[in-house]
A = this chain, B = another copy of it.
């Protein structure tokens, strides 16, 4: 007998069908036993007059007759006639899959990651993540961006900064890419509009709820822009469509987390960072330290302001200071202390970093000198600016952080299948 997917049961009423899946709940009531079965397409209740030799978590094959039943979840159930255990659990689960496990300690969930991933609420996170990737892939192409894959093994710790992982590369040393920045810029010279979904690596020896040693960055870079506004406008368009898709296709997963998708405004409000800091100081009596561009509390308050003033979960902070932005960021010609660099703050946290980049060779070399960035290891990148790079800019979105903020997860690690940090390198 051919397998019927659980999502197709409603189209097979009163027929004898075969389903396959995992037992995710078992209960008895008045001599009748019920087993909830899950496959990749959905969940259905099976009903048994006699008790069967099955356990929670077993992988099974069920033959039975499909019928409508308003009391069953989804409105359908299967009256079972035969059950076959394809693989049995030989140990007890460390938690009850039929209960809410999201209120367990994060370390419990992560130490037992291979099993906590079998819980519907945890699965919902990654079903939503799948929709995020689908949305980004689809919408970027609609806007003429080509998907690229750039190397993660680099010959030099090229963007500066200390938080690189070092790799033993044959008889040399290599470094893991902290971002596809230099390569995506080079690709603007070739394909003009490019995007990448790829692993990035950050040796961040910090224990915060928002840092990871390895994550997936949603990158983009576009050429022939008139200015940084073209970049924020394109990003807004992309986010509107992606968030729309998350709302439409992810409804059931959002519901499991009592989450609602934020409306992305047609025009996201934006303010210069310096102005925002003044507002925060005046309105919320909080002074961001002079040593930094903005700190987590500042981001939180900027978001609060955006909500109060514009009823928006998003706000662009623009014109980040030259001292805090990398060498490739276009300086503001009207104020050399500032740049055309921006962040997008979403629900209190930085979600996207972007900027217009320097595209003229001489300006780039000058800016590097001023910043004290040595050209060693960057020759391949610098070289391309001798060959007419068009005005360009782009962004990087932290994909896991986006899901974290959408679902209101306490820790970004919950949005990663197998997270990596200072202590965690397995599973």
A133 within 8 A of B: yes
* Cross-chain contact B126 with A59 (CB below 8 angstroms): no
Evaluate whether A187 and B417 lie within 8 angstroms (CB atoms) in the complex, with A22-B388, A388-B57 already known. Answer: yes
| Complex Cα gap A384–B197 (Å) | 29
Question: What number of A residues sit within 8 Å (CB to CB) of B?
Answer: 96
| Complex Cα gap A426–B169 (Å) | 13
A48 within 8 A of B: no
Stretch with Cβ within 8 A of B (4 or more), from A115-123, A261-269, A273-281, A327-335: A115-123
A146 within 8 A of B: yes
A11 within 8 A of B: no
A134 within 8 A of B: yes
> Which residues of A114-163 have CB atoms within 8 Å of chain B's CB atoms?
114-115, 117-118, 122-123, 126-127, 129-130, 133-134, 137, 141, 144, 146-156
The residue in A176, A183, A190, A214 that gathers the most chain B C-beta atoms within 10 A of its C-beta is A190
> Which residues of A158-173 have CB atoms within 8 Å of chain B's CB atoms?
165-170, 172
| Complex Cα gap A291–B25 (Å) | 50
A87 within 8 A of B: yes
* Cross-chain contact B425 with A190 (CB below 8 angstroms): no
List chain B residues, Cβ under 8 A from A170.
Answer: 203, 205, 422
| Complex Cα gap A39–B188 (Å) | 11
The 8 Å CB contact of A199, one of B40, B166, B192, B198, is B198
A191 within 8 A of B: yes
Evaluate whether A183 and B418 lie within 8 angstroms (CB atoms) in the complex, with A390-B22, A391-B86 already known. Answer: yes
* Cross-chain contact B153 with A224 (CB below 8 angstroms): no
A45 within 8 A of B: no
Evaluate whether A384 and B114 lie within 8 angstroms (CB atoms) in the complex, with A168-B165, A191-B123 already known. Answer: yes
> Which residues of A216-265 have CB atoms within 8 Å of chain B's CB atoms?
216, 223-224
List chain B residues, Cβ under 8 A from A152.
Answer: 152, 199, 201, 214
* Cross-chain contact B224 with A86 (CB below 8 angstroms): yes
> Which residues of A330-387 have CB atoms within 8 Å of chain B's CB atoms?
359-361, 377, 380-381, 383-384, 386-387
A88 within 8 A of B: yes
| Complex Cα gap A201–B390 (Å) | 33
* Cross-chain contact B201 with A153 (CB below 8 angstroms): yes
A20 within 8 A of B: yes
A18 CB → nearest B CB, Å: 11
15 A-B residue pairs with Cβ-Cβ distance under 8 Å, sorted by A, are A21-B192, A22-B390, A40-B144, A40-B192, A87-B389, A87-B390, A114-B384, A123-B191, A130-B141, A134-B147, A149-B399, A153-B201, A155-B426, A169-B425, A183-B427
For the A-B complex with A90-B386, A115-B384 known, give 20 more contacts whose Cβ atoms are closer than 8 Å.
A57-B387, A86-B224, A87-B390, A113-B380, A114-B189, A122-B190, A123-B190, A126-B146, A126-B148, A126-B191, A130-B141, A130-B148, A149-B199, A151-B214, A151-B418, A153-B213, A165-B169, A183-B418, A377-B426, A380-B427
